[in-house]
Amino acid sequence: MTASVLLAGCDTDQVSLATNAKANQPVPPKLLAAMVEKDMDLQSPILVRLFKQEAELEVWKQARNGQFALLKTYPICRWSGDLGPKVREGDRQAPEGFYSINPSQMNPQSAYYLSFNTGYPNAFDKALGRTGSQLMVHGDCSSRGCYAMTDEQIAEIYSLGRESFFGGQKAFQLQAYPFKMTPVNMAKHRNNPNMPFWKMIKEGYDHFEVTRQEPKVDFCEKKYVFDAAKPADAKRDPVFDASAKCPAYVIPEDVVAAVRGKQAKDEAEYARLVAKGTPVARMNTGIDGGMNKIFAAKIPEGSTGLSEGAEGTTLQMLAMAKAPGTIPGHVNPPKPNLDSVASAPAPQEEPVVAVSAPATGARVATAAPAEKSGGFFSNLGRKMGMGSSDTTATTPPPQATASVAPATTTPPTAASRLKAAVTRFVPGHDKSKDAAKDAPKPAATVATKPAEPAKQPDTRLAATRPALKPSVADGTSEATQIMGAAPVISSNSFDSRFGAVK
């Protein structure tokens, strides 16, 4: 019933951003200052990249030289599923691939503070028969197949997307990856069954890395094609169909040369890492997703799950660091599946060496998501020549906690593996206590102490969220006016800013 009310509210034209203070928060002064320093305009185009293993979201923005530069990196509070693409509805997987976000996908009425729809499934996903819907980037630190930020973080990201639309960008690109596509990560995951898909989207990653331009994305023969252009003798642009044979196309020679040069270096480094015996990453252990270390350090029994942090940084070192936003009391950190880990075979000492396939040249285009009528942003999308999409996030489910009872009849080998799993996944676990517990007891009679009452978890995590979330940035000074940018205007004048569009 609640979901129906939310959907109905999102589908009516009576919801105006002029009266929605959350969606109309200005870009924080600290971000404005960063734009000035990096020679960017407030309303220039943006591009977003997501990385599961690093649990990071990057916002890139176009500078006045026409190239994109990194504006800010946001730690991801929670993502769900495993490393790998989303395949079907209900698999709890956060999507991977290239997606296009237009104004109709921005949801100011989200059940998770603010959100935008990733546009999954795109044409490639549909060609493979993949299913799923309502995959979001949103607030509230709660994920069921989404990428969840804090409310303060999504307010900033939302404002950057909004301003890019004000500046004329019809859609911004979202690139979602399992990890940063470096030689060391490719070597660690070389035996993962998703590697063919990852090599394909790495092509687009490489195009962006060498050009610092948003890669044009197309699909044909159930694969991605990046930066395709019509041949010199063609009279019209090639027409792509994700399920059909690829049309005749070319990739600009300068792009091909730059991408091939990067890939040659990557493959040489990859071969070196494999030859020296870089360990293969453990396969799926039943852990549901990941969390950035900065958040895991703030939560009792917190764990990063499938995510990794900077080398040499521990949760204890981050315990005193400032969290980038409010962590809600209901946050559910990733927990290890101890039964799965205990029964899994030990990591192989001599990894199987996989031979990398030769790279092929290609470049990427945006795919329009499934669309239907929506609210104010949806109308804006239609008036700018775009469709709309239902972007209301579902109500978060009640959180349940499961306890793992200690086994009393477990064979020695399984017990040792279980202890190893606890040591690996539970921060702060004291191995010395295990050694003391396993030591033989003296024959003398020991006085029995009354059992201590179980300690209750510390629930003093966060105060109730205010109606509006302050900026993640520390700065509170008045916004700096950017060269060529429209001034930041109060929320009650939102409609006037769209006067020309309307």
Catalytic residues: 138, 146
464's CB contacts (< 8 A; 6+ apart) are none
Three-state SS at 59 = strand
With CA atoms as reference, report the closest residue to 257 among 364, 173, 363, 177.
363
With CA atoms as reference, report the closest residue to 112 among 90, 78, 137.
137
DSSP code per residue over 10-56: HT-TT--GGG-TTTTPPPPHHHHHHHHHTTB-TTS-EEEEEETTTTE
Q: Given phi > 0 = left and psi -120 to 50 = alpha, else beta, which region is 168? A: left
What is the residue type of 475? G
Q: 431: number of CA atoms within 13 Å, CB side? A: 9
Q: 122 exposed, middle or buried (CB, 10 Å; 0-12, 13-18, 19+)?
A: buried
| Separate counts of helices (H) and strands (E) for the chain | 14, 12
What is the residue type of 442? P
Task: Report d(CA 32, CA 297) in Å as an integer.
Answer: 29
**Sheet holding 46-51: strands in order across?**
68-75, 56-62, 46-51, 172-177, 97-101
Task: Report d(CA 270, CA 112) in Å as an integer.
Answer: 41
Q: Label each residue of 316-385 as H, E or C.
A: HHHCCCCCCCCCCCCCCCCCCCHHHHHHCCCCCCCCCCCCCCCCCCCCCCCCCCCCCCCCHHHHHHHHCC
Q: 376 exposed, middle or buried (CB, 10 Å; 0-12, 13-18, 19+)?
A: buried
500's CB contacts (< 8 A; 6+ apart) are none
Q: How far is CA 280 from the centre of its chain?
A: 23
- Strand 223-226 relative to strand 217-220: parallel, antiparallel, unpaired? antiparallel
Radius of gyration of the chain, Cα coordinates, nearest whole angstrom: 25
Q: Which residue matches tokens 């800013």?
A: 497
